[in-house]
Chain A
Amino acid sequence: MWRRLAISLGIVLLVMGAGLWWLSAPDPLEADSLAGIEGDSDAGRDIFLAAGCGSCHMAPDSDVDPLLLTGGREFPSDFGTFVAPNISTDPDHGIGDWSQAEFINATMRGISPDGRHYYPAFPYTSYVRAELQDMADLYAYMMTLPADATPSRAHDLGFPFNIRRGVGLWKALFLRDEWVITGDLSEEEERGRYLAEALSHCAECHTPRNALGALDHDQWLRGAPNPSGRGRIPAIAGEGFDWTAFDISAYLDTGFTPDFDVVGGTMAAVVNNLHQLPTSERDAIAAYILRAR
């Protein structure tokens, strides 16, 4: 009796284990989905700025070259401290020897060239909505950036978050390529949605997360605790947010709030990037932000 129970339990656990293993497996892009897609490095510069790659991956010291993506910035969270890796073109310590397909599987699926999951501190959760062509352009551009041989540092995460395979289950639950703000959007609002939800990943900081670290779509852009523990990331939608389209676009251009306070913290790098894009792109983000209200 006990033996039979033990055997049954063993089988159940095995099946569950196999199921979890299957569920948590990396799910790369179809191999032929990139056929014929060739990147344009000039176009890739705008994608790089909109996607804000440098904001996290440039060296931690101030006054550094924002195009030298040595990594090393720390991102404290409820799960431990993430450290941005080197994504410069160094072939050993960066991404210099990655293929286009490896790069796009990293940015849009959160999978490393050796088939492991990246943690969603890397916003592939947003880039999953991007156009393949834009990611190909980004790849072409980033391959023109300088190399640096600083080794990447390991994240410092507690159990069970240090088990990377578990990220596969997280992805099965939360990684989605659908738009969050839907409905009848104008052309400008749609462009803004693409920029904000797919590339600039506004929501990754401005939206609160559930206990497993997934964004709460019901509280989209409604502000969130700062993961570093200091203050709050402000609401940019909902009651109490009363900026006009002009206010938002001007802020993303100059860093000046409607009260002429000046941007700081991690948003300063975002403004430095978006400032370099055409005004129409900032206006589109503003239109989207107001639509998300």
Chain B
Amino acid sequence: MTFRPILAACALSMGLALPATADEDPAIAARQGQFKLYSHNFAVLGGMAQGRMDYDAGAAQVAADNLYHLTRLDQGRLWPEGTDSDAVDGTRANISIWEDLDDFVEKFGALQMAAESLQDVAGDGLDEMRAGVGAMGQTCQACHEAHRDEAS
């Protein structure tokens, strides 16, 4: 009988010692999927900007339209407390997102605006699109610099 509380305590402490993993958390999986969709579409525009592929106004516009809509998705359920990299293995979301939420929200707002500007110019020619791609990349970088960990 006296073993049961001890075993329970051991089990509990093991549970506490082992961080949860990202694939157990639907919110983390969903937001990582969201970022995959960002880069999947950004690759079309960035690829043209870097000369990896020829500029195609139609394809550029489709990708920029997608990015516009993807960055409008409501983020409300994607960032629950306790899904930072200190608490969960397999996410690169730094605790600073929650500690300085205003900054994170502001940087996300900058991304939304850059996506809108890119949508406006993506079909207008290579140089116009390239400027929009660079500006949007800057908003990605600003947030990654402040709030994303190195991959493990």
Are A255 and B137 also in contact (CB < 8 A) when A226-B150, A231-B152, A260-B46 are?
A: yes
Task: Check if B94 is an interface residue, CB within 8 A of chain A.
Answer: yes
Kindly state the separation between the CA atoms of A230 and B49 in the bound complex, as whole angstroms: 32
Kindly provide the distance from the CB of A233 to the nearest chain B CB, expressed in whole angstroms. Answer: 6
Whether A263 contacts B150 by the Cβ 8 Å rule is no
Task: Check if A232 is an interface residue, CB within 8 A of chain B.
Answer: yes
Residues of the A chain whose Cβ atoms lie less than 8 Å from the Cβ of B146:
62
Task: Check if A36 is an interface residue, CB within 8 A of chain B.
Answer: no
Kindly state the separation between the CA atoms of A268 and B149 in the bound complex, as whole angstroms: 12
1/0 per position for A236-270, CB-CB distance to B under 8 A?
Answer: 00000000001000100011100111111100110
Instruction: A234-B150, A254-B50, A264-B148 are known; give 15 further A-B pairs, CB within 8 A.
Output: A62-B142, A226-B149, A230-B85, A231-B85, A232-B151, A246-B52, A254-B46, A254-B134, A255-B137, A255-B141, A260-B43, A262-B42, A262-B137, A265-B148, A268-B145
Kindly state the separation between the CA atoms of A274 and B46 in the bound complex, as whole angstroms: 19
Kindly provide the distance from the CB of B135 to the nearest chain A CB, expressed in whole angstroms. Answer: 12
Number of interface residues of A (CB under 8 A): 22
What would 13 A/B residue contacts be, using CB atoms closer than 8 Å? A230-B85, A231-B151, A233-B150, A254-B49, A254-B134, A255-B137, A255-B141, A259-B43, A262-B140, A264-B143, A264-B144, A265-B150, A271-B141
Residues of the A chain whose Cβ atoms lie less than 8 Å from the Cβ of B50:
250, 254, 256
Kindly provide the distance from the CB of B87 to the nearest chain A CB, expressed in whole angstroms. Answer: 13
1/0 per position for A99-141, CB-CB distance to B under 8 A?
Answer: 0000000000000000000000000000000000000000000
Are A259 and B85 also in contact (CB < 8 A) when A230-B94, A230-B150, A231-B150 are?
A: no
Interface members, chain B 25-49 (any A CB < 8 Å): 39, 42-43, 46-47, 49
Kindly state the separation between the CA atoms of A202 and B60 in the bound complex, as whole angstroms: 35
Pairs of residues from A and B, 5 with the lowest C-beta to C-beta distance, nearest first: A264-B144, A231-B150, A262-B140, A260-B43, A268-B145
| A259 and chain B: residue at smallest CB distance | B39
Interface members, chain B 83-108 (any A CB < 8 Å): 85, 92, 94
Kindly provide the distance from the CB of B25 to the nearest chain A CB, expressed in whole angstroms. Answer: 18
Kindly state the separation between the CA atoms of A260 and B50 in the bound complex, as whole angstroms: 11
Residues of the B chain whose Cβ atoms lie less than 8 Å from the Cβ of A254:
46, 49-50, 134, 137
Whether A62 contacts B46 by the Cβ 8 Å rule is no
Whether A265 contacts B43 by the Cβ 8 Å rule is no
Kindly state the separation between the CA atoms of A254 and B134 in the bound complex, as whole angstroms: 8
Interface members, chain A 80-95 (any B CB < 8 Å): none
Residues of the B chain whose Cβ atoms lie less than 8 Å from the Cβ of A259:
39, 43
| B142 and chain A: residue at smallest CB distance | A62
Are A261 and B152 also in contact (CB < 8 A) when A62-B145, A231-B92, A268-B145 are?
A: no
| A253 and chain B: residue at smallest CB distance | B50
1/0 per position for B114-149, CB-CB distance to A under 8 A?
Answer: 000000000000000000001001001111111011
